[in-house]
Structure 1
Amino acid sequence: MSFIEGMDRGQAALLPPCIDDYIAPDALVRVVDEFVGGLDLVGLGFERAISAATGRPGYHPADMLRLYIWGYLNQVRSSRLLERACHRDLEALWLMKQLAPDYRTIAAFRHDNPQAIVAVGAEFVQFCRSHGLIGGQMVALDGTKMRAVASPKNIAGAERLARDLAHTEREISYYLDRLDTLDEQVEQGFSDKPAHREAFGSAISALQRRRERLARRQLELEKREEKVLVFGEPDAKPMGYARAPKMPSYNLQSVVDVESGLIIHHDVFNDANDSHLLHPMSTDALRVLDTGELHVLTDGGYSNAEEVARCERDAITVSAPIKRGAMNSEHFRPTQFIYDEASDTIRCPAGETLRPSGKHTRNRVIRYRTGACKTCVIKPQCTPGAQRTIHRLFDQAALDRMEARIYDDPDLMKIRRCTVEHPFGTIKRMSGGGRFLTRGLKAVKAEAALSILAFNVLHAVNAFGHRKMIGVA
């Protein structure tokens, strides 16, 4: 029995196959081609979307955009790898019509059109929404940390820089002393060719360059007025979870439509804290969906009372658990103190009434106290101090309503997990484990938009079918 054999490479064919025959009718690359072909590149703000009257012709932005979207769909993000794909990948040959731009041209396109690339991602969302592919009544919000193009060794603050500079000075002094000792040996005739003199001189030169670099970093840190800086990628910040090592990263936020599973809005921040991002991300999603009200599912990291109250005022309903700090189990917990909204008082476990006794405007809290603590028989179970103080946030009522929704419908958090966690896993797999290739917040936002767009295209085709996507395109 013989093996399956291929055709002879030297065999001539009377009718050579068309390159279009090599691409399957339901290939994702055809969806990419149709989608980009329907875009208004001039309106989206792409540079050189209109060819110049003179000079050497350039590549059409539509072709470069097609190449990038296809690349992110196939985990080919590097400009050098994209250049190589244009020569040897059948889908890239078909998509680019056998054009093969060099890697500098490919990289320059992404560098020169960051805002336009972000607009393309938003255009695909509107493309899906206009054809009824997005529900738009309930969304899930979450964030994840994406690695920046920087080493954790480049993270430094004023204390570390001062320590490194002092250590460098000591090393320079050490080598200078060794050189002085070698010179004395030569003068006294003990040695005419001192060993290691050239090596010591090289070490001193390297240490002096390091001292200058550290001094420049100190000036840069003072100029930016920040405690910690990632040198080489100053827009990134050290981020991590729990006690894990803090890596230079960006905070990628996404809003996912529960019904369709598509990411309807996203943004990139260099702040690791999510608590102040609830309102801006929710209102942006509301504007994208162009609806009068919205239900947002999220986790405890967004349980900021002021942000939740602002969302309620904008007709945005938030459902999330309240993030609570560590509590002393030896004493009564704040949740055991019952608040009465009508009288603005709090009843303690002993049945006494705590009344407002002052405000802290910066922290947006109200203090509640009672004089009955002095004679309370269960005081040891309540506080080790002279008096128990309960703090209630200005917008605590909004937090209580938010948490009540979770207790009324526990499945909401299951829906949130199943909706918003999956896209992050897919995006990180498609982006080399969750790491950006570009530097600077503006360029990183463009790269994130390409990753989000690639996910949306893949998910839309899987969810709604290739024929429907091509048909509406």
Structure 2
Amino acid sequence: MIPDDHICFLVESIVESMDFTSFDIRYSGAGHPAYHPRILLKILIMGILDRVRSSRRLAKNARENIVYMYLSEKITPDFRTISDFRKDNGDIVKEAFKHTVTFAREEGLLDLTHLSTDGTKLKANASNRRVLRREEMEFLLSFVDEELDEWARQDEIEDGEYGELRGMDQLPKSSKKTIQKAAKYYVKKMKERGEKFKEEVKEGLERAHQEVEEEDIKQVSTTDPDSRFMKNKKGKIELSYNGQVTTEKRGFIIANDISQGANDTDQLKPQVKQTEENLGGLPDKGEWSFDRGYFESGNIKFLSDEEIDGYIPDRDEKKKGNPFDKRHFRYDAQEDHYICPEGKRVRFVSEQFNKENNKTVRIYRGEGCIGCKERWRCTRRKDGIRHIKAYTEDVELNAMREKMKTPEAKERYRIRKQSVEVVIGDIKENKGVRSFLTRGLKTVKSEFNLICAACNIKRIWGLLLEGKQKKKISSTELTQQNWILFIQESLHI
């Protein structure tokens, strides 16, 4: 018997309230799928909440676990159906995530006075060892097209014989072992699976080669060409994706995305735009805090243009650098001069054009350097007078640095520790999501949308439990029949 206040009823309520009209129209008549997406969505979301993500285990639960049997309406999809749905229905899954945001907003749950964005590295479903360089991929493509059938017809192949592959002498010595190992594996699988394997491996190599060409990278994974080598917080470099998460003050995820870039800098604008789309507009006079990885002049200017009160710490703030580094000089925008750490003025003297980077640079010269006890720590110039070169973007960077030094900014920035940082910790620790099951950027984005939808449902559930405790309602009083009414009443507490 399922307890009357089990979270599965909330999963059911939210999924059932989704609009599946476009799906129903697309699959009306003959050829419609055997299982409606609402059933598969409920199974997948419930699985994330239970830390069960394997399609085989989910299929088993649909047959044996009373909660999953209830959600699946006693229909028993096999593991391939569940796996294929997760991979092939990104539009429906994305809509499910957006629906949790809409649901929370319409019920008055969102606190949009402060938004927070952060990125986290999640391991790709790909081996760090199964990567190839451009020339290796081109060689193997030629091998698959021209020689694989011939080698597969031979009864026995010794390792040494792979040194006779045509054209291998043109490859670097470091690549020969990789080619021999790959060729041996291809021949073995070709004997087992025939032409189907040949088609699959050729498709994978062509996709990997295309990724190398388009992205101008040196090497790529053959199992998941969209993944990239990234360093995680533990310092380990592995094939990964960069998950982006934006939350409101209470911890609801209002935007998410997957990036192939290890750097967060380019993800600020997409997160703002997706938030605007999901909420139907940006909050008026809202605050928005970002991790130091987003500290970049273009991002700061963008926030200003959008009238967003942004908070971004300097990416070099934690580094123990030279106390007389330019970033420690306070810029006075009104007077257009800098104040050095010793309190002396560094005034503007000229403007030049830098041909190397096609940028205009402004030159500032120290006024009180002669006689300063710190002059030789501050500059290496022979005359002992400090000069500062400032580019246009330094104005935005300096303004943000000064803002983040204020007690008010530090207080506002601490809010993210109770919102986005908690959410990312919940995804990795409580839900056990440290790597993806699917492969390819498109399907990984869909998988992340599922994870974020589950997080929002869990957050709604947490607020419901708080409401239940405040109203002192027992589980026996909360029947399935009045459960929806309780949701509607409790959400406003």
| TM-score (structure 2 length as normaliser) | 0.74
Q: CA deviation at 1:295?
A: 0.9
Match of 1:171 in 2: none
Match of 1:299 in 2: 291
Evaluate the alpha carbon distance shift between residue 312 and residue 56 of structure 1 in structure 2; reply closer, same or farther with a 3 A threshold: closer
Q: CA deviation at 1:111?
A: 2.0
Evaluate the alpha carbon distance shift between residue 372 and residue 50 of structure 1 in structure 2; reply closer, same or farther with a 3 A threshold: closer
* 1:39 matches 2:18: yes
Q: CA deviation at 1:412?
A: 2.3
Which residue among 139, 159, 170 is the counterpart of 1:203? 159
Q: Structure 1 CA distance, aligned partners of 2:27 and 2:236? A: 49
* 1:463 matches 2:463: yes
Match of 1:390 in 2: 388
Q: CA deviation at 1:284?
A: 2.7
Verify the 8 A CA contact 1:31 1:470 in the aligned structure 2: no
Secondary structure of the 1:370 match is strand
Evaluate the alpha carbon distance shift between residue 63 and residue 344 of structure 1 in structure 2; reply closer, same or farther with a 3 A threshold: same
Give CA-to-partner distance per residue, 1:446-472, whole Å, 9 cap, x none: 100111111111111112337578633
Verify the 8 A CA contact 1:406 1:412 in the aligned structure 2: no
Q: CA deviation at 1:233?
A: 0.9
Secondary structure of the 1:153 match is coil
Q: CA deviation at 1:119?
A: 1.6
Match of 2:237 in 1: 246
Give CA-to-partner distance per residue, 1:168-187, whole Å, 9 cap, x none: xxxxxxxxxxxxxxxxxxxx
Q: Structure 2 CA distance, aligned partners of 1:211 and 1:450? A: 38
Q: Structure 1 CA distance, aligned partners of 2:445 and 2:109? A: 25
Q: Structure 1 CA distance, aligned partners of 2:251 and 2:358? A: 37
Q: CA deviation at 1:308?
A: 0.8
Match of 1:278 in 2: 268
Verify the 8 A CA contact 2:43 2:68 in the aligned structure 1: yes
Secondary structure of the 1:77 match is coil
Q: Structure 2 CA distance, aligned partners of 1:53 and 1:221? A: 39
Taking the TM superposition and a 5 Å limit, the aligned residue runs for 1:337-356 are 337-346=329-338, 351=345, 353-356=347-350
Match of 1:83 in 2: 59
Q: CA deviation at 1:279?
A: 2.6
Q: Structure 1 CA distance, aligned partners of 2:346 and 2:388? A: 13
Match of 1:237 in 2: 228
Q: Which moved further from structure 2: 409-418 or 437-446?
A: 409-418
Q: Structure 1 CA distance, aligned partners of 2:225 and 2:85? A: 23
Q: Structure 1 CA distance, aligned partners of 2:209 and 2:45? A: 41
Evaluate the alpha carbon distance shift between residue 438 and residue 206 of structure 1 in structure 2; reply closer, same or farther with a 3 A threshold: farther
Secondary structure of the 2:406 match is helix
Q: Structure 1 CA distance, aligned partners of 2:217 and 2:292? A: 28
Match of 1:152 in 2: 128
Secondary structure of the 2:287 match is strand
Q: CA deviation at 1:99?
A: 0.7
Q: Structure 2 CA distance, aligned partners of 1:76 and 1:242? A: 25
Taking the TM superposition and a 5 Å limit, the aligned residue runs for 1:76-155 are 76-155=52-131
User: Highest Rg: 1 or 2?
Assistant: 1
Q: Structure 2 CA distance, aligned partners of 1:411 and 1:79? A: 44
Give CA-to-partner distance per residue, 1:315-373, whole Å, 9 cap, x none: 111112212275753x7332453433234333555545342432448486634243979
Give CA-to-partner distance per residue, 1:401-448, whole Å, 9 cap, x none: 434155232222322122111111211235544110000011001100
* 1:269 matches 2:259: yes
* 1:308 matches 2:307: no
Q: CA deviation at 1:35?
A: 1.2
Verify the 8 A CA contact 1:142 1:298 in the aligned structure 2: yes
Verify the 8 A CA contact 2:337 2:345 in the aligned structure 1: no
Q: Which moved further from structure 2: 420-429 or 385-394?
A: 385-394
Q: Structure 1 CA distance, aligned partners of 2:360 and 2:28? A: 61
Which residue type is aligned with residue 269 of structure 2?
H
**Unmatched segments (≥5 aa) in structure 1:** 1-21, 166-197
Which residue type is aligned with residue 407 of structure 1?
T
Q: Structure 2 CA distance, aligned partners of 1:227 and 1:367? A: 38
Q: CA deviation at 1:57?
A: 6.4
* 1:381 matches 2:371: no
Q: Structure 1 CA distance, aligned partners of 2:325 and 2:27? A: 69
Secondary structure of the 1:143 match is strand
Which residue type is aligned with residue 223 of structure 2?
G
Match of 1:189 in 2: none
Which residue type is aligned with residue 285 of structure 1?
T
Give CA-to-partner distance per residue, 1:115-173, whole Å, 9 cap, x none: 220121011101110110001121111110000001111345569x69x99xxxxxxxx
Which residue type is aligned with residue 98 of structure 1?
K
* 1:370 matches 2:365: yes
**Unmatched segments (≥5 aa) in structure 2:** 141-154, 166-176, 184-201, 469-482
Q: Structure 1 CA distance, aligned partners of 2:271 and 2:446? A: 18
Evaluate the alpha carbon distance shift between residue 108 and residue 337 of structure 1 in structure 2; reply closer, same or farther with a 3 A threshold: closer
Q: Structure 2 CA distance, aligned partners of 1:53 and 1:375? A: 87
Give CA-to-partner distance per residue, 1:287-329, whole Å, 9 cap, x none: 4332333211122111111111111111111112212275753
Secondary structure of the 2:217 match is coil
Q: Structure 1 CA distance, aligned partners of 2:93 and 2:486? A: 21
Q: Structure 2 CA distance, aligned partners of 1:140 and 1:310? A: 16
Q: Structure 2 CA distance, aligned partners of 1:405 and 1:332? A: 19
Q: Which moved further from structure 2: 132-141 or 149-158?
A: 149-158
Secondary structure of the 1:97 match is coil
Give CA-to-partner distance per residue, 1:96-120, whole Å, 9 cap, x none: 1211011111122122211220121
Q: Structure 1 CA distance, aligned partners of 2:286 and 2:236? A: 37
Secondary structure of the 1:152 match is coil
Evaluate the alpha carbon distance shift between residue 360 and residue 49 of structure 1 in structure 2; reply closer, same or farther with a 3 A threshold: farther
| TM-score (structure 1 length as normaliser) | 0.77
Secondary structure of the 1:142 match is strand
Q: Structure 1 CA distance, aligned partners of 2:366 and 2:461? A: 66
